[in-house]
């Protein structure tokens, strides 16, 4: 007990600045500016809330002209706390301007006029059509009740389904509730609990991070650990000290509240609630402190906790009504709402007990975990001597250097690339894998936004409709393809896709050039010479290959040509496709062949590089509709073909062009599906013949899912191996 | 009194810092651990003081296993290392009272004991100054006072004369000799030959985490066939130290 008190006292007295004394003037300046900012915020906030309450003064006002006796009786009998009837006599039934003045004068939005026959006419301010609804509700509820009232008087039984409350919805019942001032009520559910939370959090953070983590930082903690004081006493003593310091600001906030008459009754409960909250906060801070080795780490680790608490407060502040009921029984929410409820005199004892019990339980868990952690060497104290630390650091450095030496020697050099990354294998693989994934998903999603916005929400409606139609897994794919189909027919989408690809290309170029500090020729396979010749070669080979595929399909009677040419209206779309394909092809080649291949080859060799980049390339197309096993094989073959070309020619200009041309001719020249995505404009119009087999044509995935492409690609791979046979021999030697 | 049995220590996944060290220290003797920086002296002492757990082996102090009766051990040892500091914003007076309550020392006569302890090292004039404002030597003397606040039978001091001037150093060594005469067991680590030679009844030479030789100064000299203790140490060191 003596040790516990001594530790608590020491923790309570611990300096908040961890030994580094700030100048007294700096402290005054901070306190002053804090006060100024706080008063400004409070002033703005108070005036804002006051304004909120200026408008509905608690009762709806209705002007009643020439009221019948029965209506007066109805109104008096109801003794309605919500509706304030103003009875007026007036000779004219349709004197709108007088009624309008009357409404302005009384602040009412509604006038009802009884004519000689006892029929009712209603008027609302003509300038403002918003009040039609109010009038309709009034008719449906109050007048309906009045009708019932009249019927009942004449002995006719009535069953009305409407309630007058609908008309007065949203108005607070002025009789119930202890606080008559809605302003006080709002403040007690928002500003005051928030202040208590932040004060407790801040005070606990400053103290708690200093006591254990601070002691560890200054190497004074071991001295305490060396005493015959059990670990749990150390933890509990520190929690106690931190709790005490967290209670000081709570006290400071509580004292001025005594001046508010409406609050006095609930302040003791509020103080108890804050005390329990502070126990939890203190326990969390001590846990974090035990886990940290210095004050800065501890405070950084506490920041998320701080923000979670503040976020919780703000969500409650924003809409206290929503966070009632079950929330009152939960920890933290219970305390937040409990403070408000105690202040406004509507304490729910059971909820408070429940939330307090859970909170204390959580605090106990924190304490237990802290005690356990304090038993572990890792979290107790870093008393390794500086020489030992130096030795260990030197060993680690030597290990890293050895690793660097291994990784920086290129196993196989593609494009003459010299590796610079000494990441370990796992990080290396993860970055290689996730970089394209992240880039593509981010930029392609962004590309969807402009067309959705530009078409005035028409496509958005379509997209939502097709998403709503999803009922099972196959539907997801078909609705996805519907969306893509819809989007693919808008130039806006294609151009923003192109922009996305340009940005990805730019990212890679800038990364290689300025972060990896490697020339583009070796880093991405984009040498500056012979660009035109190389690009044209690529375009030619892409065109020839696709033409072969088309030729095979036509010769086998799988597809037939139905027409030629593009309608003038579709020209923008056609050219958007051209632009899109140029950058799409370049982008995929840069990602998989230009960037990924030399880096993997340098570390693991050429064959793994080609295999991995091809498999990834193919997986990125695997989400497209109509994907089949044959499509997988074809995509891998195409990818291998491109990889080989890039490797043998030491650049990716050719494959960029070939890729672009392949897709372009496929979709917009021969009118076929490109990797499952249909283009809507093409120079040659084709359709599948009656006898078409999916095995050859690839079905909905397009020819890339069919045998024709397999044949052509295999042939092309053989051709490449033959053309470059000398180079293969040389490279092998 | 102190039995160290085949103790090894490995910091997380790194190389062994202490490799299978064993020795005994008899009551009323001063045992010195001598070795260069990084030999594992501090680590070994931290293990004896229960601040680190041995990866392998056992340490027994007064018959108690350090990893079982930890709190019991804390009552019996006075531990000092330069790596563990005193709260810089506190004063010697306050620190003494604080640790007195942590050790649950009787309150009667506490004030007298404090004054006696402070007088012995000349701390009394500074007892209400903040630690941060005091000199290195003064801090070390206060540390020694506080380490011995509970009058422990076993004293473990890591480089007790580190950073002290000759006079203070003499004060400390004399005090340690007195303590040993009173029947206390003392282990101290040092890399100062004169200190080891003049103070220690037995010396263990620690090289690369191993005790390569142990015995009195004479024993070590005759073991290596050298005339001076210094030469004997260097002989042992060069024979046993492996590079890298």
- The string over A302-335, giving b where at least 16 C-beta atoms fall within 10 Å of a residue's C-beta and e elsewhere, is beebbeebeebbeebbeebeebbeebbbbbbbbb
**The pair of three-digit structure tokens given for residue B12, joined into one six-digit string:** 């997380």
Do residues B19 and B44 make contact, with C-beta atoms less than 8 angstroms apart? no
Q: Name chain B contacts of A388, Cβ cutoff 8 Å.
A: 11, 17, 38, 42-43
Q: What is the CATH number of the domain that holds B87?
A: 3.40.50.300
Handedness of CA A461, A462, A463, A466 (dihedral sign): positive
Averaged over B159-180, what is the pLDDT? 86
Nearest CB to A228 within list B14, B71, B132: B71
Contact A228 B15 (CB under 8 A): no
Q: Residue A108 has what pLDDT? A: 78
Distance CA B236, CA B244 (A): 18
Query: Which strands make up the sheet holding B210-215, listed edge to edge?
Result: B77-80, B154-158, B185-190, B30-34, B202-207, B210-215
Quote the minimal CA–CA distance from A3 to chain B in Å.
5
In this model, does residue A179 exceed pLDDT 60?
Answer: no
Q: What is the pLDDT of residues A351-364, one digit of tens each?
A: 889 999 999 999 99
In this model, does residue B25 exceed pLDDT 80?
Answer: yes
Q: What is the pLDDT of residues A562-592, one digit of tens each?
A: 888 777 778 888 888 899 899 989 998 998 8
Distance CA A38, CA A115 (A): 59
Residue window 226-245, chain A: list those with CB within 8 Å of chain B: 226-230
Written as one string, the DSSP assignment of A520-540 is HHHHTS--STTHHHHHHHHHH
Q: Tell me what ipTM this predicted complex has.
A: 0.89
Nearest CB to B89 within list A19, A223, A224: A19
**The pair of three-digit structure tokens given for residue A105, joined into one six-digit string:** 């004068």
Nearest CB to A384 within list B11, B15, B86: B11
Nearest chain B residue to A381, by CA: B51
Contact B103 A227 (CB under 8 A): yes
A20 and chain B in contact, CB less than 8 A = no
Do residues B22 and B38 make contact, with C-beta atoms less than 8 angstroms apart? no
Interface mutation target, options B12, B42, B83, B99, chain A, most CBs of A under 10 Å: B83
pTM: 0.58
- Provide the 8-state DSSP code for A22: P
Distance CA B179, CA B186 (A): 8
Averaged over B38-54, what is the pLDDT? 85
Taking each helix axis as running N to C, give the angle between helix A491-510 and helix A571-589, from 0 to 180 degrees, rounded to the nearest 10: 20
Backbone Cα Rg of chain A: 38
In a domain, residue B174? The reply is: yes
Q: Name chain B contacts of A387, Cβ cutoff 8 Å.
A: 37-38
Chains A, B: CB contacts within 8 A come to 95
Averaged over A213-225, what is the pLDDT? 85
Distances (CA, A) of B91 to B43, B98, B127, B141, B212: 29, 10, 6, 13, 42
Interface mutation target, options A9, A15, A226, chain B, most CBs of B under 10 Å: A226
- Within 10 angstroms of residue A258's Cβ, the number of other Cβ atoms is 10
Q: What is the pLDDT of residues A18-37, one digit of tens each?
A: 445 556 777 788 888 888 88
Nearest CB to A227 within list B43, B52, B99: B99
A390 and chain B in contact, CB less than 8 A = yes
In a domain, residue B77? The reply is: yes
**The pair of three-digit structure tokens given for residue B105, joined into one six-digit string:** 């020392």
CA angle A323, A329, A332 (to 5 degrees): 70
Q: Where are the alpha helices (DSSP H) in chain B?
A: 41-48, 70-76, 92-102, 110-121, 136-147, 166-181, 193-199, 217-224, 229-240
Averaged over A624-644, what is the pLDDT? 84
Share of chain A above pLDDT 70, in %: 82
Q: Which region holds residue B104: left if phi is over 0, alpha if psi is between -120 and 50, else beta? A: left
A381 and chain B in contact, CB less than 8 A = yes
Do residues A311 and A194 make contact, with C-beta atoms less than 8 angstroms apart? no
Residue that is written with structure tokens 């992240």 in the block: A438
Distance CA A78, CA A72 (A): 10
Distances (CA, A) of B142 to A6, A104, A219, A296, B96: 20, 84, 16, 29, 9
Helix (H, G, I), strand (E, B) or coil at B32: strand
Q: How confident is the model at residue A241 (pLDDT cuts 50, 70, 90)?
A: very high
Q: Which one, of A712, A682, A447, A412, lies nearest residue A571 by Cα? A: A682
Q: Residue A173 has what pLDDT? A: 45
Q: Name chain A contacts of B142, Cβ cutoff 8 Å.
A: none
Residue that is written with structure tokens 């310091």 in the block: A245
**The pair of three-digit structure tokens given for residue A436, joined into one six-digit string:** 């394209």
**Helical (H) or strand (E) element with B154:** strand B154-158
Residue window 145-164, chain B: list those with CB within 8 Å of chain A: 146
Residue A24 makes CB contacts below 8 A (sequence gap 6+) with: none
A484 and chain B in contact, CB less than 8 A = no
In a domain, residue B44? The reply is: yes
Do residues A196 and A187 make contact, with C-beta atoms less than 8 angstroms apart? no
Nearest chain A residue to B81, by CA: A383
Q: What is the pLDDT of residues A118-157, one digit of tens each?
A: 777 777 776 666 677 777 777 777 777 788 778 877 777 6
Is the pLDDT higher at A419 or at A723?
A723
In this model, does residue A630 exceed pLDDT 90?
Answer: no
Q: What is the pLDDT of residues A313-343, one digit of tens each?
A: 888 877 766 777 788 888 888 888 888 888 8
Query: Which strands make up the sheet holding A120-123, listed edge to edge?
Result: A83-88, A60-65, A111-114, A120-123
Averaged over B106-127, what is the pLDDT? 89
Contact B81 A383 (CB under 8 A): yes
Q: Residue A178 has what pLDDT? A: 42
In this model, does residue A287 exceed pLDDT 90?
Answer: yes
Q: Name chain A contacts of B99, Cβ cutoff 8 Å.
A: 223, 227
Give the helix, strand, coil percentages of chain B, each rounded to 5. Answer: 40, 25, 35
Do residues B158 and B16 make contact, with C-beta atoms less than 8 angstroms apart? no
User: How many residues does the structure list for chain B?
Assistant: 244
Distance CA B186, CA B169 (A): 17
Q: Residue A289 has what pLDDT? A: 92
Range of lowest pLDDT (A77-81, A245-249, A359-363, B228-232): A77-81
In this model, does residue A5 exceed pLDDT 80?
Answer: yes
In a domain, residue B242? The reply is: no
In a domain, residue B45? The reply is: yes
In a domain, residue B231? The reply is: no
Q: Which of A300-304, A327-331, A404-408, A441-445 has the highest mean pLDDT?
A: A300-304
Q: Residue A472 has what pLDDT? A: 63
Q: Residue A77 has what pLDDT? A: 64
Q: Which one, of A38, A95, A34, lies nearest residue A63 by Cα? A: A95
Residue A378 makes CB contacts below 8 A (sequence gap 6+) with: B12
Contact B51 A7 (CB under 8 A): no
Q: Residue B170 has what pLDDT? A: 87
Burial of A712 (0-12, 13-18, 19+ CB in 10 A): buried
Q: Name chain A contacts of B11, Cβ cutoff 8 Å.
A: 384, 388, 392
Quote the minimal CA–CA distance from B7 to chain A in Å.
17
Residue B131 makes CB contacts below 8 A (sequence gap 6+) with: B86, B87, B88, B89, B90, B91, B92, B95, B139, B142
Quote the minimal CA–CA distance from B225 to chain A in Å.
31
Q: Which of A225-239, B7-21, B25-39 has the highest mean pLDDT?
A: A225-239
Q: Residue A55 has what pLDDT? A: 45
Share of chain A above pLDDT 90, in %: 16
Q: How confident is the model at residue B96 (pLDDT cuts 50, 70, 90)?
A: very high
Burial of A19 (0-12, 13-18, 19+ CB in 10 A): middle
A220 and chain B in contact, CB less than 8 A = yes
Q: How many domains does chain B have?
A: 1
Interface mutation target, options B35, B53, B102, B132, chain A, most CBs of A under 10 Å: B102
Q: Residue A116 has what pLDDT? A: 77
In this model, does residue B200 exceed pLDDT 80?
Answer: yes
Owning domain of residue B193: 2-222
Helix (H, G, I), strand (E, B) or coil at A457: coil
Is the pLDDT higher at A727 or at A206?
A206
B99 and chain A in contact, CB less than 8 A = yes
In this model, does residue A174 exceed pLDDT 50?
Answer: no
Quote the minimal CA–CA distance from A230 to chain B in Å.
7
Burial of A35 (0-12, 13-18, 19+ CB in 10 A): exposed
Q: Name chain B contacts of A229, Cβ cutoff 8 Å.
A: 71, 102
**Helical (H) or strand (E) element with A347:** none
């Amino acid at each position: 007990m003596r040790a516990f008190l001594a530790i608590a006292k020491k923790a309570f007295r611990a300096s908040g600045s961890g030994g580094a004394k700030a100048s007294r003037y700096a402290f005054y300046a901070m306190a002053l500016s804090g006060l100024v900012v706080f008063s400004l915020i409070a002033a703005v906030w108070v005036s804002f809330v006051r304004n909120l309450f200026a408008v509905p003064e608690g009762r709806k006002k209705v002007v009643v002209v020439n009221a019948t006796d029965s209506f007066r009786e109805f109104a008096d009998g109801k003794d309605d706390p919500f509706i304030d009837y103003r009875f007026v006599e007036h000779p004219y039934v349709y004197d709108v301007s007088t009624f309008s003045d009357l409404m302005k004068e009384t602040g009412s939005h509604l006038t009802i006029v009884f004519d000689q026959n006892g029929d009712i006419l209603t008027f609302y301010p003509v300038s403002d059509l918003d009040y039609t609804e109010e009038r309709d509700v009034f008719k449906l509820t109050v007048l309906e009740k009045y009708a019932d009232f009249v019927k009942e008087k004449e002995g006719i039984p009535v069953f009305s389904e409407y309630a007058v409350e609908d008309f007065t919805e949203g108005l607070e019942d002025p009789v119930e509730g202890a606080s008559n001032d809605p302003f006080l009520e709002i403040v007690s559910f928002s500003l005051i609990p928030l202040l208590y939370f932040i004060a407790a959090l801040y005070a606990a953070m400053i103290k708690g991070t200093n006591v254990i983590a601070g002691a560890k930082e200054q190497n004074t903690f071991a001295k305490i650990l060396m005493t015959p004081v059990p670990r749990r006493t150390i933890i509990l003593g520190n929690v106690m000290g931190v709790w005490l310091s967290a209670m000081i600001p709570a006290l400071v906030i509580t004292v001025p509240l005594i001046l508010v008459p409406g609050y006095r009754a609930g302040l003791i409960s509020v103080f108890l609630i804050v005390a329990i909250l502070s126990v939890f906060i203190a326990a969390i801070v001590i846990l974090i402190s035990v886990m940290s080795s210095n004050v800065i780490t501890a405070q950084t680790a506490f920041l998320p906790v701080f923000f979670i608490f503040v976020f919780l407060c703000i969500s409650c502040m924003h809409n206290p009504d929503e966070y009632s009921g079950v929330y009152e029984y939960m920890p933290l929410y219970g305390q937040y709402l409990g403070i408000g409820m105690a202040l406004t005199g509507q304490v729910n004892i059971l909820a408070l007990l429940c939330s307090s019990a859970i909170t204390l339980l959580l605090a106990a868990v924190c304490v237990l975990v802290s005690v356990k952690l304090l038993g572990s060497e890792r979290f107790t104290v870093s008393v390794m001597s500086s020489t030992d630390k130096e030795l260990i650091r030197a060993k680690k450095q030597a290990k890293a250097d050895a690793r660097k030496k291994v990784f920086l020697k290129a196993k196989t050099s593609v494009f003459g690339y010299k590796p610079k990354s000494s990441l370990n294998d796992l990080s290396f693989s993860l970055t290689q894998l996730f970089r394209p994934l992240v880039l593509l998903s981010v930029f392609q999603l962004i590309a969807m936004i402009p067309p959705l916005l530009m078409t005035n929400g028409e496509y958005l409606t379509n997209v939502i409709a097709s998403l709503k139609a999803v009922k099972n897994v196959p539907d997801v794919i078909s609705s996805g393809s519907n969306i893509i189909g819809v989007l693919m027919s808008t130039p806006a989408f294609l151009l923003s896709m192109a922009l996305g690809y340009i940005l990805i290309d730019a990212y890679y170029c800038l990364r290689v050039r300025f972060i990896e500090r490697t020339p583009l020729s070796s880093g991405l396979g984009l040498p500056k010479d012979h660009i035109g010749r190389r690009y044209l070669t690529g375009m030619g080979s892409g065109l020839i290959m696709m033409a072969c595929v088309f030729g095979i399909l036509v010769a086998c009677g799988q597809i037939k040509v139905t027409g030629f040419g593009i309608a003038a209206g579709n020209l923008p779309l056609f050219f958007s496709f051209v632009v899109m394909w140029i950058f799409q092809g370049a982008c995929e080649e840069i990602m998989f062949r230009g960037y990924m291949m030399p880096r993997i080859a340098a570390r693991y060799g050429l064959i793994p590089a080609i295999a991995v980049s091809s498999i990834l390339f193919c997986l990125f197309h695997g989400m497209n509709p109509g994907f089949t096993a044959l499509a997988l094989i074809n995509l891998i073959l195409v990818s291998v073909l491109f990889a080989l070309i890039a490797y043998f020619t030491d650049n990716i200009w050719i494959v960029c062009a070939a890729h672009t041309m392949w897709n372009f001719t496929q979709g917009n020249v021969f009118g076929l599906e490109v990797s499952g995505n249909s283009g809507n404009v093409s120079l040659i119009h084709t359709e599948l013949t009656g006898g078409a087999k999916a095995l050859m044509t690839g079905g909905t995935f397009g020819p890339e899912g069919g045998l024709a492409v397999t044949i052509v690609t295999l042939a092309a791979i053989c051709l490449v191996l033959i053309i470059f046979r000398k180079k293969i021999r040389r490279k092998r030697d | 009194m102190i039995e160290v049995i085949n103790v090894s220590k490995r910091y997380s996944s790194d190389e062994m810092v202490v490799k299978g060290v064993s020795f005994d220290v008899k009551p009323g003797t001063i045992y010195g651990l001598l070795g260069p920086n990084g030999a594992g002296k501090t680590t070994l002492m931290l293990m004896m003081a229960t601040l680190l757990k041995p990866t392998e082996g056992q340490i027994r102090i007064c018959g108690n296993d350090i990893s079982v009766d930890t709190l019991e051990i804390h009552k019996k040892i006075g531990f000092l290392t330069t790596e563990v500091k005193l709260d810089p914003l506190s004063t010697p007076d306050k620190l003494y009272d604080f640790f007195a309550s942590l050790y649950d020392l009787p309150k009667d006569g506490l004030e007298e004991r404090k004054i006696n302890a402070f007088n012995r090292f000349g701390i009394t004039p500074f007892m209400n100054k903040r630690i941060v404002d005091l000199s290195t030597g003064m801090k070390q003397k206060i540390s020694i006072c506080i380490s011995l606040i509970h009058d422990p039978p076993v004293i473990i001091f890591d480089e007790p004369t580190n950073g002290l001037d000759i006079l203070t150093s003499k004060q400390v060594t004399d005090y340690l000799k007195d303590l040993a005469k009173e029947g206390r067991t003392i282990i101290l680590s040092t890399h100062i030959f004169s200190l080891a030679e003049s103070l220690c009844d037995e010396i263990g030479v620690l090289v690369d985490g191993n005790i390569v030789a142990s015995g009195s100064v004479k024993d070590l000299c005759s073991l290596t066939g050298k005339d001076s203790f210094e030469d004997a140490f260097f002989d042992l060191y060069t024979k046993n130290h492996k590079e890298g």
